[in-house]
Structure 1
Amino acid sequence: MNSLKIRLPATSANLGPGFDALGLGMALYLTIEARVAGDRTAPEFRVDATGRNPELCSSLERNLILDTYRGVAPSAPPLHLTLDNEIPLGMGCGSSAAALLAGVHLANHFGGLGWTPQQVLEEACHREGHPDNVAACFYGGMTVSSVIQENGSGGKVIATTCGEVLGWKLLLALPTASLATEKARALLPEGYSRADAVANVQATALLVAGFALDRPELLHVAMRDRIHQPYRLAACPLLGSLLPLSGTPGVYGVALSGAGPSVLLVCDPAYPQEQIEDRIRLAAGDPGLEIISTKISAGVKTLVLSE
Structure 2
Amino acid sequence: MGISFVPGPVTVRVPATSANLGPGFDTFGLALSHHDEVTARVTPGGCRVEITGEGAGELPVDDSHLVVRAMHATFDALGARPPGLALSCVNRIPQARGMGSSSAAIVAGVQLARGLVVDGVARLDAAAALRVAAVLEGHPDNVAPCLLGGFTIAWTEPDGARAVSLPVAPGVSVTVFVPTQRGLTEVARAALPTRVPHSDAAFTAGRAALLVHAITADPALLFAATEDRLHQDYRAAGMPGSADLIARLRVAGVAAVVSGAGPSVLALTEVPADFCPGMDWQTHSLLVDVAGSRIEGAIVGHAERDPVAAGRKS
For the criterion TM > 0.5, the same-fold answer is yes
In the alignment, which residue of structure 1 is the partner of 2:282?
290
Identity, % of aligned pairs?
Answer: 33
In the alignment, which residue of structure 2 is the partner of 1:300?
293
TM-score, normalisation: structure 1: 0.85
Q: Secondary structure at the match of 2:192?
A: coil
Question: Residue 79 in 1 paired to residue 79 in 2?
Answer: no
Matched residue count: 284
Question: Residue 143 in 1 paired to residue 136 in 2?
Answer: no
In the alignment, which residue of structure 2 is the partner of 1:260?
262
In the alignment, which residue of structure 1 is the partner of 2:210?
206
C-alpha change, 1:245 and 1:292, in structure 2 (3 Å) is same
C-alpha change, 1:70 and 1:61, in structure 2 (3 Å) is closer
> 2: CA distance between counterparts of 1:109 and 1:186?
37
In the alignment, which residue of structure 1 is the partner of 2:223?
220
Per-residue deviation, residues 106-130 of structure 1 (Å, max 9, x unmatched): 2333355521111111110122121
| Structure 1: 4+ residue segments shifted above 6 A | none
C-alpha change, 1:304 and 1:91, in structure 2 (3 Å) is closer
> 2: CA distance between counterparts of 1:166 and 1:48?
38
In the alignment, which residue of structure 1 is the partner of 2:31?
25
1:224 deviation in Å?
0.9
Alignment of 1:99-248 (within 5 A): 99-111=105-117, 114-149=123-158, 153=159, 155-163=160-168, 166=170, 168-213=172-217, 215-247=218-250
C-alpha change, 1:161 and 1:178, in structure 2 (3 Å) is same
Q: Secondary structure at the match of 2:263?
A: coil
Alignment of 1:270-289 (within 5 A): 272=273, 275-276=274-275, 278=276, 280-281=277-278, 287-289=279-281
Amino acid at match of 2:98: G
Of 41, 63, 66 in structure 1, the residue corresponding to residue 65 of structure 2 is: 63
1:79 deviation in Å?
1.8
Q: Secondary structure at the match of 1:81?
A: strand
Contact 1:76 1:111 in 2 (8 A): no
Q: Secondary structure at the match of 1:91?
A: coil
1:93 deviation in Å?
0.5
Per-residue deviation, residues 164-186 of structure 1 (Å, max 9, x unmatched): x6364322222222111111111
Contact 1:3 1:35 in 2 (8 A): yes
Amino acid at match of 1:212: T
> 2: CA distance between counterparts of 1:266 and 1:173?
12
| Greater displacement, 252-261 / 74-83 | 74-83
1:103 deviation in Å?
1.4
> 1: CA distance between counterparts of 2:201 and 2:223?
19
Gaps spanning 5+ residues in structure 1: where? 282-286
Amino acid at match of 2:108: A
Q: Secondary structure at the match of 2:13?
A: strand
Q: Secondary structure at the match of 2:296?
A: strand
Amino acid at match of 2:90: D
In the alignment, which residue of structure 2 is the partner of 1:46?
48
> 2: CA distance between counterparts of 1:289 and 1:106?
33
| Greater displacement, 124-133 / 50-59 | 50-59
TM-score, normalisation: structure 2: 0.83
Contact 1:97 1:128 in 2 (8 A): yes
Q: Secondary structure at the match of 2:57?
A: helix
> 1: CA distance between counterparts of 2:165 and 2:134?
14
C-alpha change, 1:61 and 1:36, in structure 2 (3 Å) is closer
Contact 1:216 1:252 in 2 (8 A): no
Per-residue deviation, residues 6-28 of structure 1 (Å, max 9, x unmatched): 11100000111000110111111
